Structure 1
């Protein structure tokens, strides 16, 4: 049995997990400290009771990082490879730390799930609203904010800077979390508050005009309604979807992003749009993948080979921007070939199977959301993406883990 001292220690762990759900509002230099505090809290707690380490959990969720690390052995650019492995370290740190938690401790942690979701939703809401109000009040007119706010977030926020694609993902995930918070609410004031935050976050999503997170949100929202099996949700769902589509159509910036999909072509033949840039990148990446299909080019060289090919093709715009693959699946193939992609699909698939088996709905919808967004973004190679992906994957798979142990 776990000692009372250990159960007291889990209270500190719960506090540090709350801090991780608030990561989005922390500056870049404090994010690593928050993760370190979590790791130390779990380790100290683990040392106060009989040792527990779930090897199966660790291997399932850390195997991708291990395989990517092996590709470092045949990389030529050692420095770049080291930087990338450091950026991606969340893929092994979180599985290692969460594997030390016992079933009892995991169940105790999940008693605070609603509080954690509230922390994340509120944090994302504030991270969007406060900078908007600040820059509107001090530097820009409203039309200028509509046009340039996404750029402001990327270049004028110092240690809080974030690419709008990742903030769009945060907005979408916060809205997803709110669905589950709303199910538990009875207070009209709290319901109004979270609906108000949802509407605000949707408006910011439209302002950032990122197609991937918006499409992924619509899909997971639809699946959420299906999961609830309640006919009374059908009318609110149809109203929400209709309103979202209407706003997408009438807002020029967002509408134009989707109109790009009607005419997709290489940038040396057509307009330089985000869609055409991705199309050109994908064409280049596919040719490189065919040349090294099984083992790829290694974590140190994969992006250098891609940029090198841009130059050989005469795509100077892509060379200057040093564009990555903008598709996580292509990127994994470039890093470690088919083997690396299969490992990722197995990790995701096993977590999804257990999530379905034990009705772990939040994990199901999160995995589907990320799988969709990964078709247009390299989430696993930027700290802004990998930290939250690794944290959410390991945290929510804890529920599948302790339910599996009970059966």
Structure 2
């Protein structure tokens, strides 16, 4: 897999088509494409590894975090079940480390082309959705019918959860805006379709995180006072969207309701929303963590512990699905306690450190964007989340031979 990631644009395109969204319906075809790319790379392409201390540190920090998390699977006496959980978790989270290793093989020109391919592909996804879905008909529905119908239709179409679709769209917007500031202003046009689709999905935290962190990209252009003005303008634009688009208005309106900020009670359809569902989950997570702060309850036991706590609520809201902690920070504490959380925060802090040291506003923006997303989702529970985080980070990092970094 490492050999497939060399200085060849066609191979990068093959991998992107294989990994970004599951548009190729048959897994065997996707595997054949990736294996064929790998075999071709051995015969036709060569690459030299450029040692990058930053990538090495990221690999170490990521490995420590994932090792602490996955080794907690052995907190139970059933070794075979624990080993199976250990392997399955590494199959998901190990993708992050592979992606970081790929960074050693990426040259600057290849990385820039990869970003452009990513933007093009996400715009193609948007066009595909607009073609397949009856966009105008959604606006004739009531606010909540529009929200539920559109989310249901797009998740069925792309076979991905709306959160991960939103994250992919946000990354495309970050890269488009950054290219418009550093290369050509025309790149800003490639952010319009992803932004429209993002607003239609109306994922609250993705929209809030984007509007908070995206203005950081222009920090080096304006003075601090003007930058604050841009931040305020961004938040004002968000308020306009909330009150003008019916689906976003519906998603944000329940934040003003008293019932939203306490655990759910009563009938599922009348008194439950995505926010108080999370409040109830976080109450349970905090209760479990309070009793097991140092080592957690283990990777296997964390879900059963949460579900046992959910039974204490006077509601059927948690009966239909196995709801995880919906918070990457709490998930770390639940599985392996304080050491695991410290390792995770060290990883995030190191990314903030190098982004400030190198004045890399793209890396800072994307890292802060994910840090906010971690509050409401377990991004690393699925490979697509690991993929977006890993590639979002390495594609926004400056190469060690960049002039700006050498200076």
The reply to whether TM is greater than 0.5 is yes
* Distance change in 2, residues 1:358/1:220 (3 Å): same
Which residue, out of 64, 88, 96, partners 1:83?
Answer: 88
Residue deviations 1:108-162 (CA, integer Å, cap 9, x gap)? x22244432222222222212312321329x9776469441211122x33xx311
- Asked if 2 retains the 8 angstrom alpha-carbon contact of 1:325 and 1:378, the reply is yes
Contact 2:219/2:227 (<8 A) preserved: no
Indicate conservation of the 8 Å contact 1:351/1:397, yes or no: no
Structure 1 residue 245 and structure 2 residue 239: aligned?
A: yes
Greater mean deviation of Cα atoms: 348-357 or 235-244? 235-244
Q: 1:212 offset after TM fit, Å?
A: 0.7
What residue number does 2:20 align with? 24
SS in structure 2 at match of 1:11: coil
1:67 to 2:68 alignment: yes
Contact 2:217/2:362 (8 A) holds in 1 = no
Q: Which residue of 2 aligns with 1:5?
A: none
SS at match of 1:228: coil
Q: Does 1:219 align with 2:212?
A: yes
- 2: distance between equivalents of 1:395 and 1:337? 31
Q: Which has the higher helix share?
A: 1
Confirm or deny: 8 A CA contact 1:16 1:37 kept in the other structure.
no
Cα 1:175–1:96 change in 2 (3 A) is closer
Distance change in 2, residues 1:403/1:375 (3 Å): farther
Range with greater deviation from structure 2 (294-303 or 235-244): 235-244
Task: Sort the Cα spacing of 1:271 and 1:227 in 2 relative to 1 into closer, same or farther, 3 A.
Answer: farther
**Preserved CA contact (<8 Å) 2:52 2:400:** no
How far does the alpha carbon of each residue in 1:51-96 deviate from its partner, in whole angstroms, 9 at most, with x for none? 9796545313322222222212224553445433322221332234
CA–CA distance in 2 between the matches of 1:289 and 1:46?
Answer: 50
Any idea what SS the aligned residue of 1:227 has?
A: coil
SS in 2 for 1:323: coil
**Contact 1:81 1:300 (C-alpha < 8 Å) held by counterparts:** no
1:47 positional shift:
8.5
Deviation, structure 1 residue 224: 1.7
Q: Is 1:332–1:341's contact at 8 Å kept on the other side of the alignment?
A: yes
TM-score (norm 2): 0.80
Other structure's SS at 1:88 match: helix
Query: 1:210 corresponds to which residue?
Result: 203
Instruction: State yes or no: 1:94 paired with 2:99.
Output: yes
User: Which ranges in structure 2 are unaligned for 5 or more consecutive residues?
Assistant: none
The equivalent of 1:6 in structure 2 is none
TM-score (norm 1): 0.80
Q: Which residue of 2 aligns with 1:199?
A: 192
* Cα RMSD, aligned residues only: 3.7
Cα distance in structure 2, aligned partners of 1:252 and 1:141: 10
Kept after mapping to 1: 8 A contact 2:58/2:347: no
CA shift for structure 1 position 319? 3.3
Q: Shift of residue 27 of structure 1?
A: 3.4
Corresponding residue to 1:11 among 4, 7, 24: 7
Structure 1 portions without partners, runs of 5+: 1-8
